[in-house]
Chains A and B, each alone.
Chain A
Amino acid sequence: MGRLTLFSYKSSNSFLHNLDTRCKLIVLSFLSISILKADFTALIIITIIILGFLASEDIKLISLLKQIKYFILLLFFIFIARAVSTNGDSLFVLSWISFTKQGVIEGVRVCWKFFIIMVMGILFSCSTKPSYLKCAAQWFLRPIPFIPEKRISIMISLFLRFFPLILKQVNNVLDAQKTRCSELQKNPIKKIINVSLPVLKKIFQCADNLAISMEARCYSENRTEPEFIKSGQEKNVYIATIVLSSIMFAF
């Protein structure tokens, strides 16, 4: 679970924490889409804004980069692919591959965009409680026909319940195997079977028990409607988002 720490909720009383969750979700999706059209001027503006929010949320940039190092590796591959495959003036030649000037600029731009989208997602999950997220998802799904939003909301809370449970069960089984000298087992297929079958069995038993106990407590889809707390700043945030998005489309 240690790896989850950065992306999970951090309690605080900052501007982002107090915003309405629905507002945060709308702004996040809106910016994520409009940023795909952005050019360097707009990217610099939004990077400064995001760095400001990171500082206000008390997230260190270095630890953030450490946590998403696999993502950065992926970005690096995309940069190389862009730099090599775009046609243009040759910048320098590395053995037989030539990097073009246009390709490098294009690669930097694409990677920058993906990085900003990623950091925005992290800011959102740091400042939003999972239960609020569930309520907001239910609220957004309500107007869509043929989607049982209440059942999905139950599924989300079950998901949040199961997710850490599975990771814990796997660790338990791995530890139990270790005490029984599983290191001596050389056959990889047997190793997998020895771990996966007990884990699956335990988890499915858990799910069975949960279904029975939910039923025993007359669990139904008629839940209390979620309530949202507004900070009063939502209107300003929407206006700022529209301005920012139009900057991104214009430049």
Chain B
Amino acid sequence: MKNKKNTLKMTVYASLFAALTAAGAFISIPIGPVPIVLQNIFVLLAGLILGSRWGLASVGVYLLMGACGFPVFAGGTGGIGRLLGPTGGYLLGYIPCVFITGLISEKLSKKIPLILSNIIAMIPGTIIVYLAGVSWLKIVTNMEWTKVFALGVYPFIIGDILKIIAASFAAKIIGKK
């Protein structure tokens, strides 16, 4: 990442991941009644593939675009109101999430097999997103903790486990190139 050529390439890739994250909020894969939204899988992938620093840049640009009113958040919405709104905690939680995921995968990937290290790196990242999202939801809606967890965590856990597995394989395939 020292020379100029790599900087340009990483800039392009970081923007690509920001755009993928934004597109992930739009594209839902219809399997069964509940469609899967791909927003957070790309945040995790950005951490794994780009590393902590460029992953952070990618998520930063994504959130900056959202804050400026570009429709990049789930359901085709945007604006600073969405960041301050009830689900804003999940979005702001992406910032520490991508950094930690990138950091752990950078440290671990040389010691243990790639897929395993990917999975280990993504679990704390996902937990951070939930922590940030749930505590913000709690502040905004003023609900009890049990209710907040029932609305903001439990429905998504199975989906997220599947996403982590899928992302670890996808990161391996993309990383090879």
Which of A's residues lie within 8 Å of B, judged by CB? 3-4, 7-8, 25, 28-29, 32-33, 36, 67-68, 70-71, 74, 77-78, 81-82, 85-86, 110, 114, 117-118, 120-122, 124-125, 128, 130, 133, 136-137, 151-152, 154-156, 158-159, 162-163, 165-167, 170, 188, 191-192, 195-197, 200, 203-204, 207, 210-211, 214-215, 219
Contact = CB atoms under 8 A, between A and B. Distances in A.
B84 to A, nearest CB: 6
A113 to B, nearest CB: 9
Contacts of A136: 68
A104 B69 CA distance: 30
B161 interface: no
Nearest to A77: B151
Contacts of B135: none
Contacts of A28: 69, 79-80
Nearest to B77: A71
B144 A159 contact: no
Given A81-B147, A215-B8, 17 more contacts: A7-B69, A71-B77, A81-B142, A81-B143, A85-B141, A117-B85, A121-B69, A121-B80, A124-B68, A155-B18, A156-B15, A158-B11, A192-B166, A196-B29, A200-B174, A203-B20, A211-B13
14 contacts: A78-B140, A81-B147, A85-B143, A86-B142, A110-B140, A124-B69, A128-B69, A155-B15, A155-B57, A162-B15, A163-B72, A191-B29, A210-B12, A214-B12
B23 A170 contact: yes
B141 A211 contact: no
Contacts of B8: 211, 214-215, 219
B84 A121 contact: no
Contacts of B77: 7, 68, 70-71, 118, 121
Interface string B53-75: 00001001110110011111001
Contacts of B81: 32, 114, 117-118, 120-121
B19 interface: yes
B28 to A, nearest CB: 11
A198 B64 CA distance: 29
Contacts of B11: 151, 154-155, 158
A74 B174 CA distance: 36
What bracket does the count of chain B residues touching chain A fall in? 35 or more
A61 B177 CA distance: 49
B54 to A, nearest CB: 10
A167 B69 contact: no
A163 B19 CA distance: 5
Contacts of B64: 137, 152, 156
A125 B61 contact: no
B15 A122 contact: no
Given A118-B77, A195-B29, A85 B144 contact: yes
A3 B76 contact: yes
A60 to B, nearest CB: 18
Contacts of A158: 11-12, 15-16, 19
Q: Which of A81, A152, A191 has the most CB of B within 10 A?
A: A81
Given A81-B147, A214-B8, A162 B141 contact: no
Contacts of B19: 158-159, 162-163, 165-166
Contact of B68 (A36, A71, A133, A163): A133
A209 to B, nearest CB: 10
Nearest to B20: A166
A130 B69 CA distance: 10
A200 B87 contact: no
A41 B62 CA distance: 35
Contacts of A4: 71, 76
